[in-house]
Amino acid sequence: MQDKIHSSYKQLEQKSKYTNMFLRWFLYFVLVIFALYFIFPLYVMVVTSLKTMEEIRQGTLLTWPSGLNFDSWLVAWGGRGYGAGDTFLKPYFWNSIKMVVPAVFFSTFIGAMAGYVLTKWRFKGDKWVFLFLLFGCFIPYQAILLPMARTLGVLGISNSVIGLVLVHTVYGIPFTTLFFRNFYVSIPSELVKAARIDGAGFFKIFFKILLPVSTPIIVVTIIWQFTQIWNDFLFGSTFSFGEAAPIQVALNNMVLSSTSVKEYNVDMASAIIAGIPTLIVYVLAGKYFIRGLTSGAVKG
Amino acid sequence: MKTLKIEELSKNFGSTEVLRKINLEIDEGNFLVLLGPSGCGKSTLLNIIAGLENINEGNVHIDDYNVSKVEPKDRNIAMVFQSYALYPSMNVRENMIFGLKQAKVSKEKIEEQLEKVSKFLQVDALLERKPSQLSGGQRQRVAIGRALVREPRIFLFDEPLSNLDAKLRVEMRREIKKLHQQLKTTVVYVTHDQTEAMSLGTNIAIMNHGVIQQNDTPENIYNKPSNTFVADFIGSPSMNLIKGNLKESSNKVSFVTHGSNIEIPINGYDFKEKSNLDNKEVFFGIRPEHIFFKKSNEDDFEINLRADLSEYIGHEQIMTFNFENQEVLAKFPSTVKIDLSKNTKLFFDLTQISLFNAKTEERI
């Protein structure tokens, strides 16, 4: 009797072993397919940027380049050296840096302050303030282009990097506030109470007690804001042109303004250069990104 | 002079009334425990004493000075929180001296205080550590230390032990008691744990729905609960409350339940007011530990009850008996053998009973 039961257990055991093995291999298969799917465009970009135009014309998309040829990268970054009509990324790259650094800093800082007030210094109607701020996350940017252009004009900072800093700061605040509010909600208010009894004021509590523990959410916010602002095309193309344009606008101009032949290798190199800073930010701070996004879900 | 005096204090959050006409006084060196179920307003009351919440009506006096409008830092109080609320980015030393630094105390004085307190609480070896590197008990100690270095007039404790595991909680409870014995400072301590309240307090104020139900010594709270809420809240298992009527004839008072011939004589009971007793609907209150299986004193009331249920908990057992279809619980040593579904002879210690008006639920 017992033998019978044991042998049926054995059969079930075998069966589930095979099922698990199959599922595991299937999982790997699917993952590999997805990985290839995602890496394919990047592969094409990198490979194309390293080819000469000759190679591009003769080979296919996937053909390996004959050698490491960085000429098209140099052209994309520094131009060909002749005067009019030569667009290259270098000045616009610095435009973007000059725009993104202050905009990220101010929007993060203001968001942190706002999140701190909305969670630790509650006031009458604070829920409404938060709700209206949230609206800012959902407003389509196209809807505010005209009023914003007018505002920048009145302030006298249209077509300037400063104007773009202002626009990106203002439109970053709803998101940064949301991030910081949700983070600070999970930090016990007793900390603030203890600090008040210890005699610390509004700013001291913020700088000495809350800000030092906010690293994960600061990193999340910086990544988010950096990516948003660096990759923005709409504000950049609307509120700036010529010299003051950020890199994404310049990239667009460069690719579209080619007169005779399409230089795919230079286009690809430019696109990669325009994407590198966000990649760097992700690689450096990526682990905090996941940690920061999930913080608050588990108790510290 | 009263160290702390609260007068006619009321507090609402919007339309919800949290505290209603609270009056409290504490003498120098006393240990007052605010005890009650969650949501009874005890933590709010503590926050009001600390100055962290505003008052709607009434006043708080510390050393006879009305502090209702005084900032928390200037009230000469220190508070220990349930979550310890240690500043996560600072080490133990910085945590403990943060308040003194804010108050611009001189460096020498700060060092002196820090050394004294950290030695006293045995955290002097931990000074360079971050709160995250401390165990629960150590964090608790540091939190108490942070309060101690300020040498406050009043210590406020907000459920400081409820985040600790059972064993540590008992240890820390003893330490807080020792601390109070040595320092003789005035303490207000909030908890929902009756054992903590009983063992620590020189006075206990039991709260429910924002009202103080009874403010008394632990002995009186246990022996003479002022209403059925207190009777039910204190004690584990809580006091048996048997519904019935009083019967008065020729100066003898007794307790009877509906439709039964059991009559419990209660002549020895210390009534607050000895009139109009006949036919009064009452709760007859007796604690499980005052029901015995053999005679304990001369006036014990002898009764046969059927045992329905037995709960074994190691050093003792809790038996449930059927008293005219009402449940009566009794606590016996676990060595006593009592058969279920059989009548057992029991003895009620009538010197320990309480009687409550069934309508008002107040002690009579």
Q: Are residues A195 and A127 in the same domain?
A: yes
Domain residues for the domain of A242 are 90-294
Provide the pLDDT confidence category of residue B249 given band limits of 50, 70 and 90. confident
Note the pLDDT of residue B21: 93
Provide the pLDDT confidence category of residue A71 given band limits of 50, 70 and 90. confident
Note the pLDDT of residue A19: 94
Strand pairing report for B316-323 and B301-312: antiparallel
Boundary of a domain, candidates A22, A51, A78: A78
Beta-carbon contacts of residue A47 (< 8 Å; ≥ 6 apart):
A61, A62, A63, A64, A65
- Domain for residue A121, yes or no? yes
Residue B173 tokens read as 């409870």
| ipTM topping 0.90 | no
Q: Are residues A174 and A279 in the same domain?
A: yes
B167-186 per-position pLDDT tens digit: 989 999 999 999 999 989 99
User: How far is it, in rounded angstroms, from Cα A170 to Cα A141?
Assistant: 12
Q: Are residues A68 and A101 in the same domain?
A: no
CA distance B83 to chain A (A): 7
| Cβ atoms B344, B293 nearer than 8 A | yes
CA distance B122 to chain A (A): 22
CA distance A195 to chain B (A): 8
DSSP string, B279-293: T-EEEEEE-GGGEES
Q: Are residues A198 and A285 in the same domain?
A: yes
- The arithmetic mean of pLDDT across residues B185-200, rounded, is 94
- Domain for residue A84, yes or no? no
What residue ranges do the domains of chain B occupy? 4-233, 240-357
Note the pLDDT of residue A296: 45
Chain A residues with CB under 8 Å of B144 CB are none
Beta-carbon contacts of residue B225 (< 8 Å; ≥ 6 apart):
B214, B231, B234, B239, B285, B354, B363
Note the pLDDT of residue B200: 95
Q: Report residue B71 CA to chain centroid gap.
A: 29
* Interchain proximity B52–A199, CB inside 8 Å: no
- The arithmetic mean of pLDDT across residues A85-109, rounded, is 91
Q: Name the amino acid, one letter, at B343.
A: N
- Say if residue A297's pLDDT is above 60: no
User: How far is it, in rounded angstroms, from Cα B27 to Cα A86?
Assistant: 87
CATH topology of domain B240-357: OB fold (Dihydrolipoamide Acetyltransferase, E2P) (2.40.50)
Q: Are residues A64 and A130 in the same domain?
A: no
- Say if residue B275's pLDDT is above 90: no
Question: pLDDT exceeding 70 applies to what percent of chain A?
Answer: 94
Q: Which one of B47, B82, B99 has the shortest CB-CB distance to A198?
A: B99
Q: Are residues A127 and A245 in the same domain?
A: yes
A247-295 per-position pLDDT tens digit: 999 898 888 876 667 788 888 999 999 999 999 998 888 777 776 665 5
Note the pLDDT of residue A300: 38
Q: Are residues A64 and A109 in the same domain?
A: no
User: How far is it, in rounded angstroms, from Cα A34 to Cα A32?
Assistant: 5
**What is the count of structural domains for chain A?**
2
Provide the pLDDT confidence category of residue B112 given band limits of 50, 70 and 90. very high
Name the closest residue on chain B to residue A211, using Cα atoms: B89
With residues binned 3-state (H G I as helix, E B as strand, rest as coil), the percentages for chain A, rounded to 5, are 80, 0, 20
- Say if residue A159's pLDDT is above 90: no
User: How far is it, in rounded angstroms, from Cα B345 to Cα B319?
Assistant: 13
Helix (H) or strand (E) segment spanning residue B102: helix B92-102
- Domain for residue A83, yes or no? no
- Say if residue A22's pLDDT is above 80: yes
Note the pLDDT of residue A298: 39
Helix (H) or strand (E) segment spanning residue B256: strand B252-256
Q: Name the amino acid, one letter, at A247.
A: I
SS3 B157: strand
Q: Are residues A127 and A155 in the same domain?
A: yes
B102 reaches A (C-beta below 8 A):
yes
Strand pairing report for B57-62 and B65-66: antiparallel
- Domain for residue A180, yes or no? yes
Beta strand spans in chain A (E): none
Q: Are residues A166 and A123 in the same domain?
A: yes
Q: What pTM was estimated for this model as a whole? A: 0.83
Name the closest residue on chain B to residue A207, using Cα atoms: B89
Lowest-confidence segment of B51-65, B180-194, B242-256 by average pLDDT: B242-256
Boundary of a domain, candidates A53, A78, A103: A78
CATH topology of domain B4-233: Rossmann fold (3.40.50)
CA distance B72 to chain A (A): 5
- The arithmetic mean of pLDDT across residues B78-107, rounded, is 93
B294-322 per-position pLDDT tens digit: 888 888 899 999 999 999 999 899 999 99
Chain A residues with CB under 8 Å of B146 CB are 194, 198
Name the closest residue on chain B to residue A197, using Cα atoms: B73
Q: Name the amino acid, one letter, at A82.
A: Y
B355 reaches A (C-beta below 8 A):
no
Please report, for residues B121, B129, B255, B278, the alpha-carbon distance to residue B137 in angstroms, rounded to integers and kept in the order given: 11, 14, 50, 56
Residue A267 tokens read as 């286009």
Residue B222 tokens read as 């246990």
User: How far is it, in rounded angstroms, from Cα A80 to Cα B281?
Assistant: 105
Q: Are residues A136 and A278 in the same domain?
A: yes
Here the CATH number for the domain that contains residue A170 is 1.10.3720.10
